[in-house]
Structure 1
Amino acid sequence: MKKIGIITIHSDLNYGAFLQAFALTSFLRKNGYDASIIDYRKIPNHPRLYKFPLNIIYKLYNLPRLYRYRSFISPMLSKYRYNSLKELSSFNEEYDLLITGSDQIWNPLCGGLGKLNPAYFLAFAPNNRYKKIAYGSSVGSYIFNKEEQIQVKQWLNDFTHLSTRELAGSQQLESFLHRKVKVVLDPTLLIDKEEWLKYSKKCTITEKYVLVYYIDELDEVVSYARKIADYYGWKVALITNMAKKHPNVDIKIPHCGPAQFLWLFDKAEYIVTNSFHGTAFAINFNKDFISVIKRNSPQRAQTLLNNVGLPERLLTNIEDVDKLPSHINYDEPNKKLNELRQYSISYLLNAIEN
């Protein structure tokens, strides 16, 4: 049985990051590999900084959510924990091969250092000991400068197989690496709805609701949800870690862990999100949804929606809601998603075995 180490963004309290890390590890384990996440805890991208006593209140407020996150992911983690690049430099774990990905690990703005993070390029791992693979590693909307291209090329030359989640990322990398970079599905889409729901846990919501899951730009996303909820007579439910209530939100859901996140997506009547992973789960769960364009990073959602034949679900204007059909016919999108899933699985298993 091959032993596989995965390095990815898993320590930030972010549903997408946690669930993609969980998905890749779970998928590999179900396919007969001894896989685990290398427990490298990077500096959070956007830590909330409050003065005393608000800093204490915020930490206490978030304890239930933190517990749910940690308990969900802990069975997937490696034996050793690394809190810095210095600690990671002594890496000596008994793996046959290493995988980097998915999420925006190659985006310098997401790696915790404000610059390229060598950890996510497996620079700490000796080439003569570990085979290196990239699965769905994303650069987001970031464009490497010439100096960064030289460094990235040096690190990625050691990889036997390269892939990313977005067409734009693949094209950028190919332009200076001069080698093929495949486009594959995010790990969350390697697992189907039925498998995901085995890990879900019920929340106490009885009313029909439009679920809002957002990354920044809350007001805009809620305005779309309010329009839909008012039309159908539903409630607007918001996944949030903010104590403050939003005037257009009926149900605020704090302390939500990944397991509750899955349940909320499954039971929603409609989903409004500007998150790539929110869009991915809406498609995977065959929900009616709107993906509100994230203007600083639209490529990930655009690639996915184009690939499954649902580009019209990415909206830039709230008036376009009225032009959408009442329900999504998932016959063709599911067919395309299954084809992409099989392609991505074949890429991953081939990369491991060959």
Structure 2
Amino acid sequence: MKKIGVITIHSDYNYGAFLQAYALIYILRKNGYFAEIIDYRKIPNHPRNDSFPLNIIIKLLNHKREQRYNTFIKPMVGVHTYRTLNEIMNNFKENYDILISGSDQIWNPRCGGLVNKLNPAYFLAFVSNKRCKKISYASSIGSYQFNKDEQNQIKRWLSEYTAISTREQSGKEQLSTFINKEIQVTLDPTLLLTKDEWLEQAKPYKIKAKYVLVYYMVEIDEVLEYARKIADLNQWKVALITNHIKRHPLVDINIRNCGPAEFITLFYNAEYIVTNSFHGTAFSVNFNKNFISIFKKDSPQRAQSFLNSIGLSHRLIKNIQQIDSLEKYIDYKDANIKLQELRNNSFQFLKNAINQ
């Protein structure tokens, strides 16, 4: 059996990061491969720098949520932990047959933990291709534009890859300007799993009222205005996934301390979803929910590319007035057919890359 190591962003306490990391290992194991996450703990994208005693209070408040995160991902992670770039670059221990640089924005210098620098670990530079095969699955650049020096570095690193795929069309197009290799666009790993496969991982989180679920990355006031309008039109509550104790004036229900397994349940049980997150959009579609994806000004490419590919680009909206022109219920018939085709093609890319 081929032994596969996946490097991705899995140690930030972010639902999308954890769920995409989990999903890729799940789908590989389900199809008969030995696979695990390489436990490289990069510096978080947005580390907190709270002073004492606030840092202790924050840690205590987040303990339950972090515990749920860690419990969820632990079965997918390898035994060796690398806490610095130096450790993984100079002391990599495992003997894998194949290495995969996984999904999420691992190729975006703003997300790799090195403060606006490319992270060589996410380009598998810690091991030679003479030692194992190197593959990229749905690696994302986000909205970042590489400069000439970065292009030269990437060109050198990716020359050792036998197969390359990105998560967005824009990423493929940018890499194709300086990489002389075939590049395929593949689905985010969360979309490789069906609704039923995700529900097997879910844990209860009961909310008695019917609710519009809000999952946001930035610009909370704007996102909540959209949700409030939809909730008021339907006499629903606004439920917000948040780490904050204080409730926003536009919110009826604060959802605190939920882990990835509870996150799945919250999406599945929602009447409607309002999000400006790519993974919020992905789970909305996978669960066939009525939703709007709000145009994320600094990085719209991820949701845009995905929704275009399944014929739901009109669900990505830029102003609140567009709500009035949207159909009340989304007809998912064609979108589901397209999603299944993309799912099949994406897994076939992965299978071919591993076995070739």
Give the equivalent residue in structure 1 for 2:22.
22
1:168-207 aligned at under 5 Å gives the runs 168-207=170-209
Tell me which residue corresponds to 2:98.
Answer: 97
Identity of aligned residues (%): 62
- How far did 1:204 drift? 2.4
Further displaced range: 237-246 or 70-79: 237-246
Distance 2:93 2:253 in 1: 48
- Residue 5 of structure 1 aligns with an amino acid whose one-letter code is G
**1:350 paired residue number:** 352
Post-superposition offset of 1:7: 0.1
Q: Matches of 1:269 and 1:325 in 2, distance apart?
A: 15
Once the two structures are superposed, residues 6-47 of structure 1 have per-residue CA deviations (whole angstroms, 9 ceiling, x without a partner) of 000000000000000000000000000000000000000101
Query: Alignment partner for residue 250 of structure 2, among 230, 236, 248?
Result: 248
SS at match of 1:128: coil
* Amino acid paired to 2:74: S
Query: What does residue 156 of structure 1 align with?
Result: 158
SS at match of 2:328: coil
Question: How many equivalent pairs are there?
Answer: 354
The one-letter code matched in structure 2 to 1:294 is K
Note the 1:71-220 alignment, pairs <5 A: 71-88=71-88, 89-114=90-115, 115-220=117-222
Question: What 5-or-longer segments of structure 2 have no aligned partner?
Answer: none
SS at match of 1:61: helix
SS at match of 2:187: coil
Determine the C-alpha separation between the residues in 2 that align with 1:130 and 1:191: 27
Q: For 2:182, what is the secondary structure of its paired residue? A: coil
Letter in 2 for 1:90: N
- 1:352 aligned counterpart, secondary structure: helix
Hey, what's the Cα distance between the residues in 2 that align with 1:237 and 1:34? 39
Q: Name 1:285's counterpart in structure 2.
A: 287
- CA shift, 1:49, in A, is 2.0
Instruction: Measure how far apart 1:48 and its partner are.
Output: 2.1
Q: Kindly provide the CA deviation profile for residues 149-202 of structure 1, in whole angstroms up to 9, marking residues without a partner as x.
A: 000000000000000010010000010012221000000000000000001011
Cα-Cα RMSD? 0.6
Question: Deviations for 1:109-156, whole angstroms, at most 9, x for unmatched residues?
Answer: 000001100000000012210100000000000000000000000000
Deviation at 1:86, TM superposition (A): 1.4
**Displacement after TM superposition at 1:243 (Å):** 2.0
Opposite residue 295 of structure 2, the aligned amino acid is I
1:242 Cα shift?
Answer: 1.5
Q: Distance in 2 between matches of 1:294 and 1:166?
A: 15
CA distance in structure 2 between the aligned counterparts of 1:92 and 1:172, rounded to whole angstroms: 33
Kindly state the Cα deviation for residue 103 of structure 1 after the two structures are TM-superposed: 0.2
Q: For each residue in 1:194-218, what CA deviation from the matched residue of structure 2 results, as whole angstroms up to 9, or x when unmatched?
A: 0000010111211000000000111
1:61 corresponds to which residue? 61
TM-score normalised by the chain length of structure 1: 0.99
SS in 2 for 1:271: strand
How far apart are the structure 2 equivalents of 1:352 and 1:179? 17
Q: Deviations over 1:229-275 (max 9, x none)?
A: 00000000000011221000000000010000000000000000000
* Match of residue 40 from structure 1: 40
**Residue 92 (structure 1) shift:** 2.6
User: Runs of 4 or more off by more than 6 Å in structure 1?
Assistant: none
Following the alignment from structure 2 to structure 1, what is the Cα–Cα distance between the partners of residues 130 and 23? 28
